[in-house]
Amino acid sequence: MKLLDEFKQFAMRGNVVDMAVGIIIGGAFGKIVSSFVSDVIMPPLGILIGGVNFTDLKITIKQEILDAVGQVVNPAVTINYGNFIQVVFDFIIIAFSIFAMIKVMNNLNRKKIEEQAPATPPPPTADIQLLTEIRDILKKDSK
């Protein structure tokens, strides 16, 4: 039972729950960005480079082998570099999106900190002023 209690305590900590929420939202965000890249960005980019669909780009190392009927006996061996290009674009857009989001959050936090910070330090209290005067008099008399 002690192990179960320790697990409950660990699982109910705020930072574990926050991390779980972040992972779930990150997964959904990744799907959105992947769709944005493959459905919105890549088609025009493919047209700009001559109507090429990136996911179709590949290098065939070994051709497929067909039997007499035309059925595939051994599939072709290919290097699908088009999929790699697609994933690189996904990564760049996700990284830029996260960078932009963190930059906005940092700017908002900086403005909040600047608003909270007092423009000038408050004047010293009366007892501090009195102690300062006494110190100055003692320094003057000791010389």
Burial environment of residue 54 by CB neighbours within 10 A (0 to 12, 13 to 18, 19 or more): buried
Q: Which residues pair with 66 in a beta bridge?
A: 72
Can you tell me which residue has the tokens 């179709």? 56
Per-residue pLDDT of the chain (143 residues; tens, 9 = 90+): 788 888 777 777 767 777 888 888 888 887 887 788 778 877 887 788 777 677 788 899 998 888 888 888 888 899 989 888 878 887 887 788 778 888 888 888 887 777 776 667 788 898 989 889 999 898 888 87
Q: Which domains does the chain have, with CATH numbers?
A: 2-137 (1.10.1200.120)
Predicted pLDDT of residue 117:
66
Contact 53, 41 (CB under 8 A): no
The secondary structure of the chain in percent helix, strand, coil, rounded to multiples of 5, reads 70, 10, 20
pLDDT for position 14: 65
Q: Helix or strand or coil: residue 75?
A: coil
Query: What does DSSP say about strands 59-62 and 72-74: parallel, antiparallel, or unpaired?
Result: unpaired
